[in-house]
Amino acid sequence: MMKFERYEWLAITIMIFLFIFVGFIQGWSVSLVILNMCIISAIMTMGVNISWGYAGVINFGVMGFLAMGGLAAVLVSYPPIAESWHAGGRGLGISFVLLVVLVIAVMYINKTVIQKRNRYILNSLIIFFGILIIRHFYLNATHNIEDVNPAIAGFLGGLGLPIIFSWIVGGLFAGGVAFVIGKVALGLRSDYLAIVTLGISEIVVSVLKHEEWLSRGVKNVIGLKRPVPYEIDLQNADWFINLVTYLNSSKLNNIIDVSDRQQVLNNLIIDGSGIFVKLSYAILFLIVMLIIFYFANKAQLSPWGRMMRAIRDNETAANAMGKDVVKQHLIIFVIGAAIVGVAGAMLVTLDGLFTPSGYRPLRFTFIIWIMVIVGGSGNNLGAIFGGFVIWFSWIEAAPLTTFIINQLTVGLEPTNALKLHLLDSVPYFRYLFMGLILLLILRYRPKGIIPEKVRHS
Partner 1 sequence: MIDFINSIILLLNFIIIPGISYGSQLALGALGVTFVYAILRFANFAHGEIMSFGAMITILFTWYFQSQNIGLGILPTALLALPIGIIATIILCIISDKFVFQYYRYQKSVPVVLAMVSIGVMFVINAIIRIIIGTETIKFSDGQKFILKAKQFKLMTGLNEGLALKSSQVITILITILLLTFTFWFLQKTKTGKSMRAFSDNEDLALLSGINPDRVVFTTWIIVGVLACVAGTLYGLDKSYKPIIYLNLVLPIFASAIVGGIGSPFGAVVGGYVIAFSEIMVTYAYKKFFVYLLPSSIEPTGLVQLLSTDYKFAVSFSILVIVLLIRPSGIFKGRVL
CA distance 371 to 369: 5
CA distance 152 to 216: 10
Asked whether 346 and 44 are in contact (CB, 8 A), the reply is: no
Asked whether 59 and 337 are in contact (CB, 8 A), the reply is: yes
How far apart are CB 288 and partner 1 at their closest, in Å? 28
Q: Which range binds partner 1 by CB under 8 A, 238-246, 272-280, 304-312, 434-442?
A: 434-442
CB burial class (10 A; 0-12, 13-18, 19+) of residue 73? Answer: buried
Number of H helices, E strands in the chain: 21, 0
3-state secondary structure of 354: strand
Residues 35 to 74 in contact with partner 1, rule: CB under 8 A: 58
DSSP state, 152? T
Angle formed at CA 351 by CA 345 and CA 356, multiple of 5 degrees? 65
Whichever of 104 and 195 has its CB closer to partner 1, that residue is: 195
Whichever of 224 and 373 has its CB closer to partner 1, that residue is: 373
How far apart are CB 388 and partner 1 at their closest, in Å? 19
Whichever of 10 and 432 has its CB closer to partner 1, that residue is: 432
Q: Is 403 in the site for partner 1 (CB under 8 A)?
A: no
Q: Is 408 in the site for partner 1 (CB under 8 A)?
A: no
CA distance 99 to 113: 21
Q: Is 200 in the site for partner 1 (CB under 8 A)?
A: yes
Asked whether 231 and 240 are in contact (CB, 8 A), the reply is: no
Residues 203 to 242 in contact with partner 1, rule: CB under 8 A: 203, 206-207, 209-210
How far apart are CB 158 and partner 1 at their closest, in Å? 23
Q: What is the DSSP string of 4-49?
A: --HHHHHHHHHHHHHHHHHHHHH-HHHHHHHHHHHHHHHHHHHHHH
Contact pick of 40, 72, 438, 450 for partner 1 (by CB under 8 A): 438
User: In the chain, what are the helix, strand and coil shares in percent, each to the nearest 5?
Assistant: 80, 0, 20
Whichever of 211 and 271 has its CB closer to partner 1, that residue is: 211
Q: Is 442 in the site for partner 1 (CB under 8 A)?
A: yes
Q: Is 121 in the site for partner 1 (CB under 8 A)?
A: no
Asked whether 227 and 162 are in contact (CB, 8 A), the reply is: yes
Q: Is 425 in the site for partner 1 (CB under 8 A)?
A: yes
CA distance 345 to 167: 5
CA distance 27 to 38: 17
By CB under 8 A, the count of residues binding partner 1 is: 41
How far apart are CB 431 and partner 1 at their closest, in Å? 4
How far apart are CB 65 and partner 1 at their closest, in Å? 16
Q: Is 449 in the site for partner 1 (CB under 8 A)?
A: no
How far apart are CB 117 and partner 1 at their closest, in Å? 14
Exposure string for 220-259, b = 16+ CB within 10 A, e = fewer: ebeebbbbbeeeeebbeeeebbeebeeeeeeebeeeeeee
Q: Is 125 in the site for partner 1 (CB under 8 A)?
A: no
Whichever of 29 and 206 has its CB closer to partner 1, that residue is: 206
Whichever of 229 and 361 has its CB closer to partner 1, that residue is: 361
Q: What is the DSSP string of 373-417?
A: HHH-TT-HHHHHHHHHHHHHHHHHHHHHHHHHHHHHTTTS-TT-H
How far apart are CB 284 and partner 1 at their closest, in Å? 32
How far apart are CB 361 and partner 1 at their closest, in Å? 7
Q: Is 393 in the site for partner 1 (CB under 8 A)?
A: no
Whichever of 83 and 202 has its CB closer to partner 1, that residue is: 202
Whichever of 80 and 435 has its CB closer to partner 1, that residue is: 435
Contact pick of 46, 76, 92, 198 for partner 1 (by CB under 8 A): 198
Instruction: Draw the binding track, 364-383, toward partner 1 (x: CB under 8 A; -: no contact).
Output: --x--xx--x----------
Whichever of 164 and 368 has its CB closer to partner 1, that residue is: 368
Residue 51: name the closest of 38, 63, 62, 67 by CA.
62
Residue 167: name the closest of 38, 291, 49 by CA.
291
How far apart are CB 104 and partner 1 at their closest, in Å? 20
Residues 165 to 184 in contact with partner 1, rule: CB under 8 A: 184
Q: Is 405 in the site for partner 1 (CB under 8 A)?
A: no
Q: Is 399 in the site for partner 1 (CB under 8 A)?
A: no
Residue 289: name the closest of 372, 157, 383 by CA.
383
CA distance 79 to 157: 6
Q: Is 129 in the site for partner 1 (CB under 8 A)?
A: no
How far apart are CB 94 and partner 1 at their closest, in Å? 19
Give me the residues that bind partner 1 (CB under 8 A), please.
58, 184-185, 188, 190-192, 194-196, 198-200, 202-203, 206-207, 209-210, 361-362, 366, 369-370, 373, 422, 424-425, 428-432, 434-436, 438-439, 442-443, 446
